[in-house]
Structures are given as C-alpha cells and as structure tokens.
Structure 1
C-alpha cells in the first residue's frame, strides 16, 4: 500500500514538474516574443521619431523661407521707398542748384557782355581820339599817323606833313584798367629799343629779265 502511495506521489510530482517545465518554456517563449515586439516597437518609435524630426525640420525650413521672403519683400519695399524719396530730393536739389547756376551764369554773361561792349566802345573811341592826344602831348600831326592795327595800332612819321621826317614812332593805344602789352607788342618794343630797325627798298622790274631787287 505504501508503495502505491509513493508511486502516486512520484507520478504527481512528475506531472507537476512537466507542467512547470512547459510553463517555464511557454513563459520563455512569451518573454522572447515580448522582447521581439519591444525591439520592433523601438524600431517603429525610432522611425516615427525620425519622421517627426524630418517633418518638423521641413516645417521649420518652410516657415523660415516664408519669413525671410516676407522680410526681404518688406526690406525691398522700404529700400525702394527710401531710394525714390532720396532720388526726388536729389533731383529737387539739383534743379535748384541748376537754376541758381543758370542765373549766375546769365548775370556773368550780361556783365561780361556789358564790360566787353564798354571796352570795345572805349577802345574805338580811344583809337579815334589818339591822334588828337598825340598831337597835344608829342606834337605829332594827325596827318603823320598811319593806322596799321597789328601788331601795333599806329606808325607815326613825325614831321612828314611838314616835309621833314624827324623820327618814326610805333604807337600802341591801350584802354581799360591796364596798359599791359601782349607778347607781339613787347617784341616790337624791344626791337625798336635795341635799334633792330632798318629800311629796305623793294624794286619790282617791269622789263625782262623780270626780277625783284632789294636794296
């Protein structure tokens, strides 16, 4: 009887051990499956996180591009408005300066024209009155004067009208504020003062052989 009980107990223990073994194996399989699902879930979460980050980055980039484009448009509009205002201001200033310059130039031209006209008239009057002044101061008869105009105004042959030439005088008439001579007039004066003056006779022969004799 005892043996039967022992066998029954051993059988029960064996069955219990087998059940425990199957339970442990099932639990292991469940844990392994759970670990696989956890890894798969981690991979899905990583993919989802990457997708979310990419979407967030793209959204941020679009928002930045839109903001920059809007800001650039605003800056461009402000710059164009400022540029247009500065352009109008510069055009107005230039117009005012141009008007002032035109008025100034017109006044200068008028003054210059008046001065030139007065100088021309005075010069002509001086040339007309010069013979009388020369007669009064130097005793040169108006009949002894010959007007040549350039490089000096007159050559006077003093005494010619009386039949006796006493001297030959080169005369330049000056009017205005200064009596300065120009270069050609100074050269004539230096030549006369240095006695670099001579008399030449040009003889044009009318009969053959035709030639010109200078004596």
Structure 2
C-alpha cells in the first residue's frame, strides 16, 4: 500500500505542474481543433486528444502539453491495474476502482465530467468553454485522483486478514511457478509466507529428523 501511495503522490506532483499550464493546454486543444476542422464538438475523450496529438498538432509547445496530459492519463491507467492486483476489495472499493478504470478509458465520454470544489479548474474557463468544450477534459485528472485517494482510504479500513490473504495467494502462486523451474527456488516465498502468517515449528519423526512448519 505504501508503494501505491507513493505512486499516487508522484502523479499528483506531475499534475500540479500540468495544472499551472492549463491555459497552454486549452490553447493547444483550440489550435488542434482548428487544424482538424472540428470546432463544433466538445473534447469528449482521451482518444480524441490522442488523435489531435498524432495528426493535427504542428506546434512544439502544443505537442509538449498534450503529451503531458496523455502521459498522466497513462500513469493513472497503469495505477488502476496495480490497485486491482493489490486485493479483491469490497463493494465500495470495487465501485471506486471501476469508476477510475472507466474514466481513464480512451473511449469513455468525459464531456459531462466536472471537478467540484475545492478544485477550480473549471472556474478558470470562460462560461462557453466550460459548458461546451473543455469542462470535461480539464476535470478528468483531478476527479480520477480524488477517486483513487478515496479507494486508498477505504482499502486501509479493510480487515487485515483480507490484505494478508491476498498476499498469501500471490506468494503461493509465485512459489508454485518457481518450484516448477527449480526444486530449490521456493525458499524465499515460503519464508515470506511464514512472516505474514506466523508458523509453529515442530520436530518431525521422519527419516531426516528435519524441522517442519505448519500454518
């Protein structure tokens, strides 16, 4: 969980730099829409921004800020995958994760997404821009970040055994895979299992009189 928090903080720091350049971002989108003869439709998806960047952006400054937006979205998408792999969660965390995954999907319609207080990204747009063109695209990242932070907060309240059970299953899966490669490769995962779930040692009466561990 600490690694997840650290990744989230890093994305937030990058977003703060991006947020300071919102006017540059809006100008880049405006230029690309003009080049694409696409001034009527709002910016409605990450995929649309990707298309503008790939085919209708001919300015270095515009391209840099559009790529920064796409990079943050890609980082959020990868973090969603890590959240999903961390534990199975409950109804609340699963709903939050599903919302995050939907929002960062390239084809998802984000035109109706709006960041609420304390975020002020929409307030920095003119009324026409916010209502008809860019309100969704500038709201996307802060909304996803809030959703992920809420996921972390709820996950930390889950019973400890849920987190440990997920950890145990992953270790046992790793143990199985490595054991197929070498009969001696499973020692490290087995040791981690004993740390997560304290073992009770007892002496064996077997031929080698070795020590066995049981969970």
- TM superposition score category, shorter chain reference: under 0.3
TM-score normalized by structure 1? 0.18
Q: TM-score, normalization: structure 2?
A: 0.18
| Structure with greater proportional helix content | 1
More strand by share: 1
